[in-house]
Every structure is written in C-alpha cells, then in structure tokens.
Structure 1
Amino acid sequence: MRRAQPTHGAKFLMQRYTSAVFLAAAAASASPALAQDDENWTGIYAGVHVGLSEAQSQSDVTLGGNWSTEPQALRDFIVANAGTAQKEDNVNLGLQLGYNYQTGPVVLGVEAEFSSFEKNHSEVRGPLKLTDTATTSYTFSNKAKPESIAAAKVKLGLTTGSTLFYAAGGWAVAEMKFGAGIASSANYLKEGRLKKDTNGFVIGGGVEQRLTRNLSARLSYDYTDQGSVNYTTAYLPESAFKIPEYSESIDQDLKLHFVRLGVNYKF
C-alpha cells in the first residue's frame, strides 16, 4: 500500500514555519510585560495555517451483472482486492477568520476556515493472480484525493490570560475525487470516477498563545467524518470486454485528521 509523501518544498515550508512559530513563542515568554499589555481575547481575528493531514478511506466493492456466472473463488478474489483501506498523508495550507468573545475566563467564538491540499497519488496493486497457475492477472487501483475543505465551527475555551485552551465543533464540506479501477491481462478494463462535495461533522480543539497585543500562534487538531459515497465502474474504450455486462459498485467513505500550526492577527 502506498502513501503519498509531502514534497520536499512542502517539508521545507513546514520546517521554516514551525521554527518561526516557536521562536516567536519563546520571545513572547521572555517578555512578562507582554501578557499584561492586553489579555482580552474579544475581537475579530484572521490568520493563516499550515499542517499535516491524513485521509482515511475504505472502499467496499459489490459485483453485479454477469459476475454471477463466474466461479465463486474468482468473485471473492475480485471483491477482496478491488476494495481496500487507504491512508494518504498530505500537507494542507489555508486561512481562517473568526470572532471571540471573552467573559471572565471563558471564551466563546465562531470560526470559518478553508484549506487546500497537495496532490495525492492513486494506490495501485498488482498484477495479482487468483492462483499461481492462473493465466489471467489483475491490477487494481483506488483513489481518495481531497482537493480542499471548508468548515464553520463554534468554539468554547478557557483562558489563563495570554494562553487560550479551546474545543471546537461544527460542519465541514470537502471537495473530493474518488476512483477505482480493474485491469486484467485479458484486457478487461473498468474504471469508476466521482468528483463530489462531501459533508460531515468536524470536531477538535487546540491551544493558542498570545505573542503580542494583536498576534497569536496556535496548535490545533481536527477530525472530520465526511460520510460515504457510491459510484459504479464503466468499460474503458480500449477494453476487449463490453458484452456480456459485468458491473462493479463501490461504496467509499472518507475520514480526515488534521494537525495544524496557525498564526492569527486580532483586529
């Protein structure tokens, strides 16, 4: 099983960004007067973030049509290999805009955010054979590629002055590309694709540290379950098989985990 790896440029960006955040935090902690300058979190803020994400997707395949005429062993082999569990690592970059209201040590807030992702690669397995002596081999491919995600969340936090601890939850919409394919050495060529905006809940939390009167840095974690989609494969033009009709239906879900570093500016 393959995992998409962040590019060298993305890794370099992450390293530089992380260094900048921690240097700024160290500088802030070295200035006790900074926390006394303005510890109230009430106000509108906007910021940027960069982070790592993991997309988890399970594909389950149901065979139909003339697959019922094939031996059970072959059908079990196709179902077992055409569907798979995927984990794809990625880098995400984005923006956030929100509003906090502080009453005593409690901070209430709302936030909208948007993240885009680097490109992922499809997972390919094969060629595989039903048995060592089989004459036909099969190659299988699966894809769950996030393009972007937007979320609207409410926040509940507690502050110790210059530090804010918070939990958040809301709704997220992800622009996704799904795919599955089967290719045999006998030129049975099928592929299914789906591009869709998926919807699901998002929950998470984080810690935010004030660096100056208006500037703060934060570390956050979010999880979203984007539900599942269903799509079918179709014969590719170059396939030697068109009739009799064989069909494959794919149910595929999506879950995303995010760890992000962010910087906010309070207006």
Structure 2
Amino acid sequence: MNKYVLATVALTMSAASASAADLAARPYTKAPAAPVAVGYNWSGFYAGVMGGYSWSDRIRVDGFTAASSDINGGFGGGTIGYNWQTPGSNFVWGLEVDAAGGDVKYRETGLFGIVPVTAEDKIRAFGSVTGRLGVTSGAALFYVKGGYAWADNRLSFTTPGATLFSESKVHSGWTVGGGVEYMFAPNWSLKGEYMYADYSSERYGTVLTGFTDLGVTTHTVKGGINYHFNWGGSSF
C-alpha cells in the first residue's frame, strides 16, 4: 500500500514540475504604449510669398483730406520672419519683414485747353517691419501685428507722347493689423491677413509747377504661403 502511495506522490510532483517549467518558458509581452500626441511649435525662421489687393479711403493734399481717392490695385511680394514659442505655451511672438511690388494707383484724365492731360498717383512698392503676437489653437495661429511701414509713390502728369512731370518719393509711416496662419503640412503654412497703413506726407513739385504735399492711407488684404525652416513638430 505504501508503495502505491509513494508512487502516486512521485507522479503528482513530476506533473507539477512540468507545469511550472511550461509557465516559466512562456514569454511575457508588454502591452504597447499609447502614442504620445506631438504638439505644434512655431519657433524658428520662415520665409514665403504673398499677394493681394490694396485700396485707399482717403488721401491728404496740402493738409486737406479727400475721401474716396480711388487708389487701388493688386500686389505681390515676399516675407521673412522669426517666431519664438516656449514649449508648452500657446503664445507666439516674433518679428516679420515683408515687401511687395504693385500696381496700386489712381488715374484721371482731363483737358488742359484742348490737350488731354493724365494725372496718376501710383504706389509702385511698399513694405513693413513689424512685431507679431499670437495664440495657437491646434494647427492654427491667430495673431496681431504692427510697426513701421514704407511706400514708394510716384506722382506724374503726362500728355500723349510726352511726360510733363514725374517724381517719386518714399513715404514712411506705421501699420497695424492681424490675421490667421494654418500649418497644413510639415514645415508649410497658409495665411490670410488684413493690414491698415498710414503714410506721412511728402512734398512733390518744382518751382515752375508749384508744390503739393501728398499723403495717403491704405487697406490691404493678402494671402500667402510660408516655409518654416525649424519646424518644431506636429501631429501629422
């Protein structure tokens, strides 16, 4: 009887040892970690192209303000800038420089006796140096900006086949506005922007023609695309 008991115990212990060996050999697999969402960071240099439309609602001549001056037209140019954004913060600040060439003008033709004379006031180029302050929301950056503005303006009087008078001046002033920029792909963003600019008066003319002090304000709406050289990551 004891022999049967001992045999049973031995068989039981052998089975238990085999089961333990099987358990020890089974590999342990750790559950995969949930992916960590990567946020947008706007810090770094960027450059791009832009274009749009500009118009004026008032012009200053000899100290007087005239409404509906009809200065308007299209433009195109480029932008460079630098952004700073502290990791974990939604606020972005930076500096931006832009310049554009355009065909923003007012033209009117009248008769001087029997000779047609065309007067033209044309903003041939303009630009700005501004500071930007914005707040992010996902892939979007909403911002305001303001600073120094300049415009290359030409005033001329012509007749068919001849130029009676032509003079260009660079006007300096200030600008303020804002817009939204959207990071649609790694390193690439689209923007839409509105700006208001007020340029100082400059004196045009000669002793023979007389002198005129001319100033102007403009509104601009523009769209653009920027490339960010030091793109800080996104959820793409």
TM-score of the alignment, normalized to the shorter chain, above 0.5: yes
Structure 1 counterpart of 2:79, one-letter code: Q
CA contact (8 A) 1:59 1:250 kept: no
> Residue 164 and residue 59 in structure 1: after superposition, are their counterparts in 2 closer, same or farther (change >3 A)?
closer
Q: Which residue in the other structure is 2:145 paired with?
A: 168
Structure 2 counterpart of 1:173, one-letter code: W
Point out where structure 1 has 5 or more consecutive residues left out of the alignment: 1-35, 63-82, 128-135, 184-189, 236-246
Report the structure number with the largest CA radius of gyration. Answer: 2
1:144, distance to aligned residue in structure 2 (A): 1.9
Q: Which residue in the other structure is 1:86 paired with?
A: 69
Aligned residues: 187
- Report 1:35-184 matches (<5 A): 38-56=39-57, 58=59, 60=61, 86-103=69-86, 104-118=89-103, 120=105, 122-126=107-111, 141-179=118-156
Point out where structure 2 has 5 or more consecutive residues left out of the alignment: 1-36, 230-236
Please state whether the residue corresponding to 1:226 is helix, strand or coil: strand
1:253, distance to aligned residue in structure 2 (A): 1.1
Q: After superposition, give the CA deviation of every residue in 1:51-99 in whole Å (9 maximum; x if it has no partner).
A: 111145535369xxxxxxxxxxxxxxxxxxxx88522221110100011
Please state whether the residue corresponding to 2:101 is helix, strand or coil: strand
> Residue 250 and residue 56 in structure 1: after superposition, are their counterparts in 2 closer, same or farther (change >3 A)?
farther
Name the CA distance, whole Å, in 2 between partners of 1:202 and 1:156.
15
Structure 1 counterpart of 2:42, one-letter code: W
1:234, distance to aligned residue in structure 2 (A): 6.0
Name the CA distance, whole Å, in 1 between partners of 2:213 and 2:106.
20
Name the CA distance, whole Å, in 2 between partners of 1:38 and 1:50.
30
CA contact (8 A) 2:135 2:143 kept: yes
Name the CA distance, whole Å, in 2 between partners of 1:170 and 1:84.
25
Q: Which residue in the other structure is 1:29 paired with?
A: none
Per the normalisation by structure 1, the TM-score is: 0.61
Q: Which residue in the other structure is 2:232 paired with?
A: none
Q: After superposition, give the CA deviation of every residue in 1:232-265 in whole Å (9 maximum; x if it has no partner).
A: 3565xxxxxxxxxxx6432221112110001011
CA contact (8 A) 1:61 1:248 kept: no
Q: Which residue in the other structure is 2:184 paired with?
A: 211
- Runs of 4+ in structure 1 off by over 4 angstroms are 136-141
Please state whether the residue corresponding to 1:211 is helix, strand or coil: strand
1:142, distance to aligned residue in structure 2 (A): 3.6
- For residue 170 of structure 2, the aligned residue among 197, 207, 211 is 197
My pick for the range that moved more, 111-120 or 45-54, is 111-120
Higher-strand-fraction structure: 2
Per the normalisation by structure 2, the TM-score is: 0.68
Q: After superposition, give the CA deviation of every residue in 1:200-256 in whole Å (9 maximum; x if it has no partner).
A: 101111001110121110100111111112223565xxxxxxxxxxx6432221112
1:138, distance to aligned residue in structure 2 (A): 9.2
Q: Which residue in the other structure is 1:66 paired with?
A: none
Structure 2 counterpart of 1:174, one-letter code: A
Corresponding position: 1:252 with 2:235: no
Please state whether the residue corresponding to 2:179 is helix, strand or coil: strand
Higher-helix-fraction structure: 1
